[in-house]
Amino acid sequence: MANTPTVYITVSDQHRNGKTLLARLLADYLLLDGRDPFMIDTDAPEGPLRKFFPGRTALADFAAMPGQMKLFDTIIASPGRDYVVDLPARHTDGFFKAAQELNFFDELKKLGFRIIVFYVVDRHAASLRAAKAIQKFPNIDLFVPVENQHVGSFWPKTEGDLTIPALPQALAIAIADKRFSLRAFVLGDTQHLAEEYQPILSNFLYEVLNNLGNLEPLVTLQNLK
């Protein structure tokens, strides 16, 4: 992706549909691209994203006002780098409401940030409606509907979608271990992953990371409209 500092926000209205896996893939993609992303995990106290990137992740409990301000202040106080914000379903509405009330996206624009929202659309019609509402939120440079093939999606196929292919359960469990680094795997460290799963994970990562790389022209086209 281009060198413009960007705030990437992964959201959904449903639980357990691969949203944090997406945030993890996005962070590893940025690291592989030579970027220096900082992650903000709002799923306190568990911090599922932080366990994969403990040295570059802040845990901000968005259920409480101090956590909300920590999220906003962390980004505004240190512009010039990428941020990945992982929001659990229970905080999605609250985040966008607070962002609107505080003119957060306006402030990000003044600081030179782009804003890209990845919305994992679940298999229910209600999820489609919720996604469409967020898509209309002002100052978003690119809205990316995401389908996790493991759970399905109600979003109609269109250009600019991102697909997360389904993985065999045993492989999904293996890479969910906090000691397993997707970035290290891409760089050639198999981390004792069973040989039968190595080509499956390689193909999975190639598809997702390549599609993330293809988003850059879409941001440019969106900004030209």
For every residue of 147-210, DSSP letters joined together read EETTT---SPP-TT-EEE----HHHHHHHTSTT--HHHHHTT--TT--GGGHHHHHHHHHHHHH
For 87, how many CA atoms within 13 A lie in the half-sphere containing its CB?
Answer: 26
Higher pLDDT pick, 72 / 216: 72
The whole model's pTM is what? Answer: 0.94
Peptide bond into 45 cis (omega under 30): yes
Q: What is the mean pLDDT of residues 183-190?
A: 97
**What was the pLDDT predicted at 157?**
79
Q: Is the pLDDT of residue 102 over 50?
A: yes
- pLDDT 10s digits, 30-60: 999 999 999 999 999 999 999 999 999 999 9
Q: What is the pLDDT of residues 76-96, one digit of tens each?
A: 999 999 999 999 999 999 999
- pLDDT value at 24 more than 70: yes
Percent of the chain with pLDDT over 90: 88
**Banded pLDDT at 11 (limits 50, 70, 90):** very high
pLDDT, tens digit, for every residue of 121-159?
Answer: 999 899 999 999 999 999 999 999 999 999 999 998 775
Question: Residue 19: is it exposed, middle or buried by C-beta count within 10 angstroms (0-12/13-18/19+)?
Answer: buried
Predicted pLDDT at 3: 80
pLDDT of residue 216: 78
Quickly state the pLDDT bin for 217 (edges 50, 70, 90): confident
Calpha distance 196→217 (Å, rounded):
35
Distance, in Å, from the CA atom of 126 to the CA atom of 115, rounded to the nearest integer, reads 24
Please identify which residue in the block is written with the tokens 């659990």.
Answer: 88
Q: How confident is the model at residue 224 (pLDDT cuts 50, 70, 90)?
A: very low
CATH number of 6-224: 3.40.50.300
How far is Cα 113 from Cα 91, in angstroms, rounded to an integer? 22
| pLDDT number for residue 72 | 96
pLDDT category, 222, cuts 50, 70, 90?
A: low
Alpha carbon distance 172, 20 (integer Å): 13
Percent of the chain's residues with pLDDT above 70: 95
Q: What mean pLDDT is reported for the chain? A: 92
Q: Which of 149, 140, 161 is nearest to 204 (CA)?
A: 149
State mean pLDDT over 202-216: 93
The alpha carbons of the chain give a radius of gyration, in whole angstroms, of: 17
For the chain, the structural domain boundaries read 6-224
The pLDDT assigned to 80 comes to: 95
Q: Which residue has the tokens 């691969």?
A: 18
Give the integer Cα–Cα distance in Å for 123 and 120.
10
